[in-house]
Structures are given as C-alpha cells and as structure tokens.
Amino acid sequence: MIRSRRAAFAAAALIAAAALAVLGVWQLERRVWKHELIAAVDARIGAAPVAAPGPDAWPRISARPDAYRRVTATGRFRHGDEVLVQAVTDRGAGFWVMTPLETPGFTLLVNRGFVTTNRRDPHARAAGNVAGAVTVTGLLRLTEPDGGFLRTNDPSAGRWYSRDVAAIARAKGLARTAPYFVDADASPNPDGYPVGGLTVVQFRDHHLVYALTWFALCALTLFFAWRLWRIRD
C-alpha cells in the first residue's frame, strides 16, 4: 500500500516536472519574441515618419507591427475638447494633454505632451494652443483601456488615469476617431507647454530569469520523484 502511494506520488511529480519544463521553454520562446519586438521598435523609432493610418487600416493595427511607429498628420486641434490624463514623468507629477486633431476624413487623439499641475488650466498655457492648421509628428501608441493600476477612469467627473481612446471619444462626442493615439515629438510648443517628446520606450525583459526558475523547479521535482522511487520498504 505504501509502495503504491509512493509510486503515485512519483508519477505525479514526473507530470509536474514535465509541466515546469514546458513553462521554462515557453519563457525562452517569449524571450526571443521580446528581443525581436525590441529590435523592431528601435528600427521604427529611427525611421522616417509615415502618414497616420486612416480608417481603412484601423482593423489591422496591432502592437507587433505598429506600436511606436513614427507617424505624421495635419489638421486642426480642438483645444476645447482636450482631456488631461494623470501622469508621472521625469519632470514630476502632472498631466498628459490629450487633444483631438481633426484631419481630413477622421479625428486623431494627440498626446501633445506633459504639463505640471500649475499648468493644467488651459488659460495658464494659452499661448501653446495654436489655432489653424498644424502638422504633428510623433509615435503611434495603442489605446490604454479602462484605467490605471487600481484606478478606473471616471469620464463623468473628468478624472482620467489612462489614455483610453474609445472612452475619451465617447466622453467628448468625437466621431470617426482613430483607435490609437499619437505621442507628439519634442518639437517645442509656443511658451514651452505642453512638453512633448517624453515617451518612455521600455519593455520588461525578465523571461530568462523566469525560465531558469521554472527549470530549477523542474530539476527539484525530478529529484523528489527519484528519491521516492529509490526508497525501499
């Protein structure tokens, strides 16, 4: 009876070890994918800008081929419909200024840049709210739905913790809005605000550590199974 129980435990340990090994291999595959993504993003950031994707391209936009692609668009800002999204940057705490840009055929949300708390009032940076046609160049970013960590966007109260394109478009009644937004580059705005070009391009790359952890657990589980098998009545 005892021997059969040990055999059952040993078999279960072998199954667990196989699962742990699969997880380790999966993390190594994820590491290869992450490195390819980082290389692709580095290439995009340094490339010449292309026209911001229009409605025909929207269904095909995704992270792997499009995130951080340099794009450009020309239109007129709707400064009266700007949204402030809470942000923490190297310059401290403040807000991203998200402003709709009306282009021929669609509306594009542009993160014009960062403002400190004492500049959140548009009147405190009125010189930067240029009227007329403007051309914006920056990085294509995917929408950030729902909110931030442990904080949910509250459109009715005007509290935004993430750059949720669809929610902002609904709150401001924007029609035909692109499903992405653009982080404006460091081209200076009049009077210096908002401050663009603060996009942080950083990817977590802990896959090798995770893989080694899974493989170590696999080895320990195999050792446990071997010990059970070696025990004699």
CATH number where 82 lies: 2.40.50
Q: How many domains does the chain have?
A: 2
In a domain, 198, yes or no: no
Residue 63: its H or E element: helix 63-66
Same domain flag for 84 and 185? yes
- Provide the 3-class DSSP secondary structure of residue 92: strand
Which band of pLDDT confidence, cut at 50, 70 and 90, is reported for residue 83? very high
Question: Do residues 33 and 82 both lie within one domain?
Answer: no
What CA–CA distance (Å, rounded) separates 189 from 126? 11
Query: How many CB atoms neighbour CB 42 within 10 A?
Result: 12
* Angle, vertex CA 78, rays to CA 74 and CA 84, nearest 5: 110
Looking at the fold, whether 123 and 220 belong to one and the same domain comes out as no
**Residues 20 and 85 both lie in one domain:** no
Asked if the structure places residue 149 within a domain, the reply is: yes
Determine, yes or no, domain membership for 212: yes
Res. 136 pLDDT band, cuts 50 70 90: very high
Mark whether 186 and 92 lie in a shared domain.
yes
pTM for this model (two decimals)? 0.73
- Cα–Cα distance for residue pair 200/90, rounded to 1 Å: 10
User: Angle at which helices 207-230 and 2-45 pack, to 10 degrees?
Assistant: 170
Q: For residue 201, tell me if it sits in a domain.
A: no
Lowest mean pLDDT among 35-44, 61-70, 141-150: 35-44
Q: Coil, strand or helix: which one is 171?
A: helix
Q: What is the pLDDT of residues 158-195, one digit of tens each?
A: 899 999 999 999 999 999 999 999 999 988 888 888 99
Q: Are residues 76 and 169 in the same domain?
A: yes
> Looking at residue 17, what is its pLDDT?
83
- pLDDT tens-digit map of 9-56: 777 878 888 888 888 888 777 777 666 666 666 667 778 899 999 999
The pLDDT score that the predictor gives to residue 35 is: 67
- Span 110-135, average pLDDT: 88
Per-residue pLDDT band for 204 (boundaries 50, 70, 90) equals confident
Instruction: Quickly tell me which residue has 């239109």 as its tokens.
Output: 75
Which sign does the torsion angle of CA 35, 207, 143, 111 carry?
negative
48/230: higher pLDDT: 48
Residue 123 is assigned to a structural domain of this protein: yes
Looking at the structure, do residues 183 and 213 belong to the same domain, yes or no?
no
- What is the per-residue pLDDT for 168? 96
Whether residues 122 and 74 fall in one domain: yes
C-alpha span between 178 and 167 (Å, rounded) = 12
Same domain, 213 and 184: no
Let me know whether 105 and 176 are in one domain: yes
Whether residue 102 is contained in a domain is answered as: yes
In-domain check, residue 51:
no
CB atoms within 10 A of CB 212: 13
Determine the structural domain holding residue 125 and report its residue range: 69-192
CB burial readout 93-123, b (16+ within 10 A) else e: ebbbbbbbbbbeebbbbbbbbbbbeebeebe
Please check whether residues 166 and 83 belong to one and the same domain: yes
pLDDT at 16: 84
Average pLDDT over residues 127-132: 80
| Pairing of the two strands 70-77 and 92-103 | antiparallel
Asked if 75 and 163 sit in the same domain, the reply is yes
How many angstroms separate the CA atoms of 98 and 81, rounded?
9
Question: Is 143 domain-assigned?
Answer: yes
What pLDDT was estimated at residue 140?
A: 94
